[in-house]
Amino acid sequence: MSKTPWKADKWFTSPWNFAEEVREGIKFPDRIKIHDVSLRDGEQQAGLVFNKDDKIRLAEKLAEAGVHRIEAGMPSVSDQDKEAIIEIKKRDLGDTEVFAFARCMKEDVKIAVECGVDGIVVEIPSSEHIIENAYRWPVEKAIELSIEATQFAKENGLYTVFFPIDASRAEIDWFLDLIERVATEGHMDALGVVDTFGGLAPHAIPYLVKKIKERIDKPLEAHFHDDFGLGAANTLMGLASGIEVAHTTITGIGERAGNAPYEDVVLSLLTMYGKDIGIDVSKLYEVSKLMQETANLNIRPNRPIVGDTVFNVESGIITSWVENCGEEHRLELAPFLPELVGNHPIEIIFGKNNGLPNVNYGLDELGWSASGDEKMEILMKVKNKSFKNRGQLSLDEFREIAAKVLGK
């Protein structure tokens, strides 16, 4: 690690992240993997559909970016899903592993085996209340199905991740008894630490990881939803507590409020923890844009990292910073540079929050000059036009205003 890991050529975060007192409780594993679930859990977002070709294209782009695992889908859902998984596995994805998802049913696992995947994620409800109220099963049925399905996966040579749905809302002793029974009587190569409904607070995660590790000695995988906007934060807390694999989706797509966003987790690890996990972060924007276009999905324009307006500047004060800092000191303006993640360069915008620095910028773009009074008149007209538009102005609109003021 460099002497100033918080400040590199393309990022500048807080040095306090690396204070000895802060880092003494952090227990990152030697290797962290990203397990992308966009093609399965991500597609469960209401109204979102990926066809076979979409899934193949997204899988190839994720592999190109260096994602370690792709959960390519749930083959029991449809023939098209099964065909997509088979085709993705056939593609040259380098070191990227291909996993399938299955219910804790032998038949589901059998279909996954037919796809030739490297591994499988096997789900089961794991809180007594959801088993009884949502599934209407006797509790013992969930345990028996888990044991049978995971054993069958093992017999067929699949790396098996046991995935207990709603684990975070289960009574702790019941949950620990369940995973111990499956680990002993069934099989698991790894255990998913699953917060299905996003209700786990970040500071509860080290406690949960500790309790699990006291009961079973298995690698752990973080699967945290974003219902309270804490998916990425919880995932980082899990990794810092020793969890080895992070389940994420591209730009946080997924059921209800979505999953932990892949971009947020990967970039935070790199810039705030000094953990380069082998992902090409220059492709974060590119991967997100492909997903958005494929899914016909609009995200908020100032969404962190991959939003189209993240690096747009409207404020007059900040516009003056842009001018003063120049190319050499751009990291005074943001915690990371747009090119780090493949986003577009900083852009000066005309609008209500402008000051004279924006007018100076616009005039420079046009190659025009103006007196102080003329600049102030242009500024007031820009602000009024922005109020009328309820948004920003284009350079052409700025030109039209400036031309009238300057008599051009």
56-82 pLDDT, tens digit each: 999 999 999 999 999 999 999 899 999
pLDDT of residue 139: 67
- Residue entry with tokens 């962190």: 304
| Confidence check: pLDDT of 313 > 70 | yes
Q: Tokens in use for 43?
A: 């597609």
Residue 395 CA to residue 26 CA, distance in Å, equals 49
User: Any idea what DSSP says for residue 172?
Assistant: H
Reply yes or no on whether the pLDDT at 326 is more than 90: yes
On the question of pLDDT at 131 being above 80, the answer is no
CA 228 to chain centre: 15
Q: What per-residue confidence (pLDDT) applies to 90?
A: 95
For the beta carbon of residue 37, count every other beta carbon within 10 angstroms: 28
Percent of the chain with pLDDT over 90: 89
Across 152-160, average pLDDT: 96
Kindly state the average pLDDT of the residues 44-52.
Answer: 95
Domains and CATH numbers, the chain: 15-295 (3.20.20.70), 312-406 (no CATH)
Q: Are 135 and 183 in contact (CB under 8 A)?
A: no
- For residues 321-345, give the mean pLDDT: 96
Query: Which pLDDT score is estimated for 238?
Result: 98
**pLDDT value of residue 130:** 72
25 close to 237: Cβ distance less than 8 angstroms? no
Pair 207, 175: CB distance under 8 Å: no
Q: Which two tokens stand for residue 41?
A: 């859990």
Contact between 59 and 94 (Cβ < 8 Å): no
Mean pLDDT calculated for residue range 313-327: 96
Tallying the residues shown for the chain, one arrives at: 408
Nearest to 234, CA basis, from 209, 254, 270, 214: 209
C-alpha span between 309 and 302 (Å, rounded): 5
User: What is the band of 141 on the pLDDT scale with cuts at 50, 70, 90?
Assistant: confident
Q: What's the rounded Cα separation, in Å, for the pair 280 and 266? A: 9
pLDDT-derived band at 136, boundaries 50, 70, 90: confident
- Rounded mean pLDDT of the chain? 95
Contacts of 260 (CB under 8 A, 6+ apart): 222, 224, 225, 226, 231, 232, 234, 235, 246, 247, 248, 249, 252
DSSP string for residues in 180-208 = HHHHHHS--SEEEEEETTS---GGGHHHH
pLDDT band at 144 (very low <50, low <70, confident <90, very high): confident
Q: How far apart are CA 402 and CA 105, in angstroms?
A: 69
Q: Is 159 helix (H, G, I), strand (E, B) or coil?
A: strand
Q: What's the predicted TM-score (pTM) here? A: 0.94
Residue 391 has pLDDT above 90, yes or no: yes
Confidence label for 188 from pLDDT (cuts 50, 70 and 90): very high
- For residue 269, the model assigns a pLDDT of 98
The helix, strand and coil proportions of the chain, stated in percent and rounded to the nearest 5, come to 50, 15, 35
Tokens for 380, please give them.
């007031």
Write down the pLDDT at residue 381: 97
pLDDT of 126 above 90: no
